[in-house]
């Protein structure tokens, strides 16, 4: 009887553990340059990705009405965090996946005047932000500036 109780306990405990698949790499090899439509949405068929960005644009620019045509630069790091920025942005926004959308995890201040020609590159495990006009080369992580 003692062994039967132990066996049942082991079955119950093992059935409650989470299944984790590791290691995983969620990085996008290159950035996606996505144009905001008149509804405030960006989409990328390659990654089956679609997102309304009006709140992000309002946070950065103070305007969520005149959004059509803005080019956002989006890249995903190896851990699955999304990095988003654009021309004239002073920040890079880091998001994590949330139910039905993305949740802001970090707002990284990178430029006093705003980015002129931003580009995001994969430099695993980091993301590289370049802006040739500002002679800027910064390594980023989900926690902020690395160097």
Distance CA 37, CA 35 (A): 6
Give residue-wise pLDDT tens across range 86-123: 999 999 999 999 999 999 999 999 999 999 999 999 99
Domain boundaries, the chain: 21-145
Cis, peptide link before residue 141, omega less than 30° from 0: no
Low-confidence ranges of the chain (pLDDT < 70): 1-16
Distance CA 68, CA 87 (A): 14
Distance CA 15, CA 108 (A): 41
What is the pTM (predicted TM-score) of this model?
Answer: 0.85
């Amino acid at each position: 009887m003692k062994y039967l109780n132990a066996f049942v306990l082991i079955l119950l405990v093992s059935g409650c553990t989470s299944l984790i698949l590791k290691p995983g790499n969620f990085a996008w090899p290159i950035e996606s340059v996505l144009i905001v439509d008149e509804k405030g949405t960006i989409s990328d068929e390659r990654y089956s990705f679609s997102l309304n960005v009006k709140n992000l644009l309002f946070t950065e620019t103070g305007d969520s009405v005149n959004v059509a045509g803005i080019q956002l630069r989006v890249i995903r790091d190896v851990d699955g965090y999304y990095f988003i920025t654009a021309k004239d942005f002073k920040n890079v926004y880091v998001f994590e996946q949330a139910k039905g959308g993305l949740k802001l995890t970090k707002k990284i201040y990178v430029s006093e005047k705003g980015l002129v020609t931003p580009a995001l590159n994969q430099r695993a495990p980091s993301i590289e932000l370049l802006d040739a006009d500002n002679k800027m080369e910064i390594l980023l992580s989900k926690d902020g500036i690395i160097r």
